[in-house]
Structure 1
């Protein structure tokens, strides 16, 4: 230990040798009204095109050469502040920022984004300004985080109704989604049309997809980290919206002045009348949902902050019969699923440049499928659950402007109930309870960021995993002694290197190795909220991936325009796919129905964004491919005869464009355009007649593509200025989603041919293929947003 301390001390002295003829600049950012420090406030410094974010005590430190500098400080929900200084000595500057009750009239470039694109060794990260995303047109006028993110490069989904995001060709469950440190296993409402996050509750959205920081683990492709807004206000403030599909309300208020604050956000939606407009197949459907987020923030002293966050969502919807159970006469399915998350965060600052975070998380996801019996009042219920309990400790230290590090450990206890069938009062249905699964994942980690010079920076991280499955729950199903004792170890190195070609351009390289021990199992286009989850065991081995990246970044016109190009390659092992003809429902030995496959994904992403001014927006193009190859030994278990085939999320071409026009202080117009290659699907290779029934035969998988997907959207926001002595401010937002009414195909299915209707295959047979389009007409919406303070 003494050697480690001596090494760090010597490194600090050697780093100091670089700082000749430089001065220390300390910038403290505080709330002008409450005098509380603001963590993660964004700092931009010109003309050096450098910057960063404040630490847990609201301070940002940097060493710069003697010169004149312009400092810009931005924080979500606050007015942007600027300072001009002459740095000719060590200086300390306090910047007081005031709360902003209305959206910024211009898009302010995020300091994180600037650092990411020019100087930081972090590659492949997207730090998303929620004020920018709120300007985008959305389904039924409801701003949506996940839908908005599909307008960014390398991010897509499986269609209009998708239960998550696919990042760079990965599956939905390969993306870890965290909301205030707690995982979210089902992130959508209403069949995937909306995300489960109340818009006003979210303060930051960070997506990592290359050299993912070592504090994150558990998924093999990417991490989406969302944080809840801190409720620091001097007086009560109410925000909300009234819409056709849903309405939300947010309240922030101090409970004890300068000590205890409360933020509460909720949303409800009732769409029974709206579903038939989307599709004739939804005539008998019903749906409603709600979500709620509550955050308590306590300032225990100068050096301590404690926050407690609760998050709850619930969905209920009813559809015509999709799946059935023998001996139950039912013509509908009902789905009821909920998430209950709690997170406790304590941050203790030892000094301006060192702090410790301790985070405790408890999460429960509980989906149900209900089969009402037409002949009685009885209901047969199929349910499952995922319990997640975690403790996370992390120590952060900034030694100097050139060297900082963090070390920590995360322990996660998984508790899965894969499936229980409760027959109720039915005597003709036998109850079933699948064996529970429990596992402990312990992951110590460390990361250091070091600047060798003004041009060369590197980030080196390591995460080590020990995963142990609880054998007791598997004794009744085990086939051999090996399955009763399953322990996996995994090392996950992370590396990022940046080389500044000039003050406004750089190149970067990255590498990351990742492991995944929890996977979603399904055999449809997109997983349902009730799809089964499975922990790794002796048969289903952990997924793993190696990701490589190379990128070039350029800031143009004094930071007004950003350009980047990134190339990536990812090879992976033990991806999950299913045997032909598999049915996972209540399958006790689901391991025998799963095939693990190798995978590879690669692509190039080009981004051009204008981030300031009355006319702003971005355009991006992605070329990407994603493939799988099984390695089953039995001929009947092989997928595509063990040859490479396109994965479900293989979309070679994606083009997105967004334009925002701010005519004056009252009117803002936004336009979206997106084009995507059609998603792969499987065409039957032949048909056979079995007892007067025509049956398609499938040999190859994903051997064709749906028609390309494209969509145009529009929104118009009319904002009213706040009048003297008036505490109420409102605005109207009018949106048109899918202006052209294009019937973008979501899936293709087979059934008996309809009269006088040509189809793409089997023209001479009674069997036809038909496309299913979910949103096949323009969706108009009018939403009223208000603020009361």
Structure 2
């Protein structure tokens, strides 16, 4: 009997080796590439319904849908919120690929809604603290001097703050600037601003959108403990030439998108340049001695190998040069002629392979370089002293994604990162009084595997669970200082090349839960644990050119974050109105901060200048958003705290005697609002208001005299606050035509920044009186205290934008 069964199995095996086409209908692949008709941008989450098979699915992040079907006649219905539906009839007799162009159905719909993946998405998904913003919505926000700016626009969202008008980044939910992972088409950006924060570095016309994760950060991301900002670059799906740009007071922009090989190879190339030497003395008196210019450019190629494979390459360049009068601790230099040169070079190579049944494999190779350089002219000579440092980042990531059905989807992958840090080198040139200094490079590897599962076990419950497991190693060559039991220096231990100096292994679970209380109401909870192995060390309100990047070692342990969140969400009037309450609590460990009197410029063993503190940030965020109508916008109110506390035994490492104190990013009350008035098809008016508690700063507790010099005594850090920050901005956009069939389009944008001329101090500084009598400039202080306001008064600007296709 057993022998007969074996023979039967062999016969069945031989039978299935025979071609089945004479018996069964042949299967072919059907691939759709869905894009916006006007912008050629790929659309994610488009619904495809196929009959008579009663099957279908949705497009992936690249706008691709692929499925295998038996040969025959099919009717396809393509639907997307805010767009007119399309019906396509096909006769599937071979493998076929189609480009589907969707047209906006109602021009009055907000762009945020147009790119929503589905109705009630904020109610149905288990993710918390996520903001998915379309670039068209961000462009409406009035910004400094008429320049569209990603970072300044997102500070109008709940839980996102800057440290003032001049800030080299953003603080999200009380985190420091370096605790944000900022990705530009997948590659990290270590300095996201031009001129210390006046503008962001991202080329405006090539951006398709921004995703911000503040709570249960997806398992695919790691390395920063506060948030992830993913800035996406448009894929150049296009079959004809297109050019767009803008002319403004600060910068000029130009972007070209064109096919190079029809239906195979496409290109988008955008650039922006700014020259501000003449405007700064007029607009910002504090920067009257400033010379500044900057450029940024983005170059992206898209190659459609076949229906299942596409390859993209993105090159990003950012460069700043300016001469700025800043305080320096190098003797015999001309501080008013200090020159600063920053360069960012990013490369992203991405391969997307689409399998059948909505399964994708995405692989990325990324290389990023950040190279700041400082030039210090020496007094009465032609000699220039140079300080240089650098970060080199290389990563390989591969991720498998499967959308099984409406109830279940998952992804898994791995990521390997390599860091090479040049902490700094000082080249004195011909200066005899200054010795050259070269700090040793640091080498680190961060390897991770991760997986995430999204599951809807019933119509009212949605779960998202993920796990990321990370191994970090600091490798030699490396010189490690040794200390005795009293903390005194006791020699150096040297590690050879590839020898392990320090190693950390950490699991990072992520969890999101959503329970629907009704069709338009839901409650969410979230948890995330994340570790950070790279940190930026600085002792100012925003990182300066000499700030220090440092990998974790035996003395500087990785920063750790545990975030808990809970929220209530309610939609009204068919999702026209969205209301949300979100509460969060962040428990952090090993936050880096500087010791009192620290000087880590060119410090060989930086652990002597810093201390690590525990932290806690908590708050409640209220948000009201109106998505549709001639009047639309958003209102946010946030109450939050961000506190730090050292637990040092050594008194010299204690801050505020080991008591809780406000961090630099503690702003208990924040209100912001944006309102757009769409008067007619040609005119759009926008207002935004920002109001927040003043930033903490340190005031002297007393003074003493020594040799006719007044010396301040600082006992407590961040023991006072700047005045309340608030301002109102206005924007008026005049569009000649919104007809999608019109080839040339132009519009004017008129902006007023700080409409009622509020004087918002950026900081308060102290100096010697030098015999000057008391007055308002010294604020009644026994020292010479004065307020510094970077953007004083009202700034008016005008820009012209155009598009031809």
Query: If the length of structure 1 is used for normalisation, what is the TM-score?
Result: 0.89
Relative distance call for 1:719 and 1:743 in structure 2 (3 A) is same
**What pairs with 1:43-192 in structure 2 (closer than 5 Å)?**
54=60, 56=62, 58-59=64-65, 73=80, 80-82=83-85, 96-98=100-102, 106-109=110-113, 110-112=115-117, 116-192=121-197
Equivalent pair of 1:52/1:60 in contact (CA under 8 Å): no
In the alignment, is residue 419 of structure 1 matched against residue 424 of structure 2? yes
Q: Which residue of structure 1 aligns with residue 364 of structure 2?
A: 359
Distance 2:383 2:689 in 1: 48
In the alignment, is residue 383 of structure 1 matched against residue 388 of structure 2? yes
Q: How far off is 1:689 after superposition?
A: 0.7
Q: Which residue of structure 1 aligns with residue 239 of structure 2?
A: 234
Q: Which residue of structure 1 aligns with residue 672 of structure 2?
A: 656
Q: How far off is 1:333 after superposition?
A: 1.1
Equivalent pair of 2:34/2:59 in contact (CA under 8 Å): no
Relative distance call for 1:259 and 1:101 in structure 2 (3 A) is farther
Q: Which residue of structure 2 aligns with residue 719 of structure 1?
A: 735
Q: Which residue of structure 2 aligns with residue 337 of structure 1?
A: 342
Relative distance call for 1:604 and 1:466 in structure 2 (3 A) is same
**What pairs with 1:240-255 in structure 2 (closer than 5 Å)?**
240-255=245-260
In the alignment, is residue 564 of structure 1 matched against residue 580 of structure 2? yes
Relative distance call for 1:198 and 1:43 in structure 2 (3 A) is farther
**Which shows bigger deviation, 137-146 or 103-112?**
103-112
Q: Which residue of structure 2 aligns with residue 368 of structure 1?
A: 373
In the alignment, is residue 487 of structure 1 matched against residue 503 of structure 2? yes
SS at match of 1:305: strand
Equivalent pair of 1:57/1:352 in contact (CA under 8 Å): no
Equivalent pair of 2:479/2:492 in contact (CA under 8 Å): no
Match for 2:516 among 476, 495, 500?
500
Q: Which residue of structure 1 aligns with residue 72 of structure 2?
A: none
Relative distance call for 1:191 and 1:101 in structure 2 (3 A) is farther
Equivalent pair of 1:494/1:513 in contact (CA under 8 Å): yes
Q: How far off is 1:320 after superposition?
A: 1.9
Q: Which residue of structure 2 aligns with residue 587 of structure 1?
A: 603
In the alignment, is residue 271 of structure 1 matched against residue 271 of structure 2? no
Equivalent pair of 1:496/1:511 in contact (CA under 8 Å): yes
Q: Which residue of structure 1 aligns with residue 642 of structure 2?
A: 626
SS at match of 2:324: strand
Distance 1:724 1:140 in 2: 29
SS at match of 1:537: coil
Q: Which residue of structure 2 aligns with residue 204 of structure 1?
A: 209
Q: How far off is 1:702 after superposition?
A: 0.6
Distance 2:109 2:244 in 1: 19
In the alignment, is residue 757 of structure 1 matched against residue 786 of structure 2? no
SS at match of 1:147: helix
Relative distance call for 1:272 and 1:41 in structure 2 (3 A) is farther
Q: How far off is 1:722 after superposition?
A: 7.0
Q: Which residue of structure 2 aligns with residue 744 of structure 1?
A: 760
Q: Which residue of structure 1 aligns with residue 449 of structure 2?
A: 444
Distance 2:562 2:389 in 1: 32
In the alignment, is residue 782 of structure 1 matched against residue 798 of structure 2? yes
**What pairs with 1:276-315 in structure 2 (closer than 5 Å)?**
276-315=281-320
Distance 2:193 2:208 in 1: 19
Equivalent pair of 1:52/1:112 in contact (CA under 8 Å): no
Distance 2:707 2:409 in 1: 72
Relative distance call for 1:529 and 1:183 in structure 2 (3 A) is farther
Equivalent pair of 1:56/1:355 in contact (CA under 8 Å): no
Q: How far off is 1:749 after superposition?
A: 0.4
Q: Which residue of structure 2 aligns with residue 19 of structure 1?
A: none
Q: How far off is 1:325 after superposition?
A: 1.7
Distance 1:101 1:336 in 2: 47
The total of aligned residue pairs comes to: 739
Match for 1:431 among 422, 432, 436?
436
CA RMSD in angstroms comes to 2.9
**Which shows bigger deviation, 210-219 or 29-38?**
29-38
Equivalent pair of 2:35/2:63 in contact (CA under 8 Å): no
Relative distance call for 1:94 and 1:452 in structure 2 (3 A) is farther
In the alignment, is residue 524 of structure 1 matched against residue 540 of structure 2? yes
Q: How far off is 1:232 after superposition?
A: 1.1
SS at match of 1:276: helix
Equivalent pair of 2:694/2:722 in contact (CA under 8 Å): yes
Q: Which residue of structure 2 aligns with residue 17 of structure 1?
A: none
In the alignment, is residue 597 of structure 1 matched against residue 601 of structure 2? no
Equivalent pair of 1:57/1:303 in contact (CA under 8 Å): no
Distance 2:37 2:570 in 1: 38
Distance 2:316 2:31 in 1: 34
Q: How far off is 1:476 after superposition?
A: 8.1
Relative distance call for 1:320 and 1:561 in structure 2 (3 A) is same
Gap regions ≥5 residues in structure 2: 1-29, 50-56, 68-76, 89-96, 483-490
Equivalent pair of 1:345/1:359 in contact (CA under 8 Å): yes
Equivalent pair of 2:66/2:355 in contact (CA under 8 Å): no
SS at match of 2:263: coil
Distance 1:781 1:60 in 2: 47
Relative distance call for 1:690 and 1:71 in structure 2 (3 A) is farther
**Which shows bigger deviation, 467-476 or 269-278?**
467-476
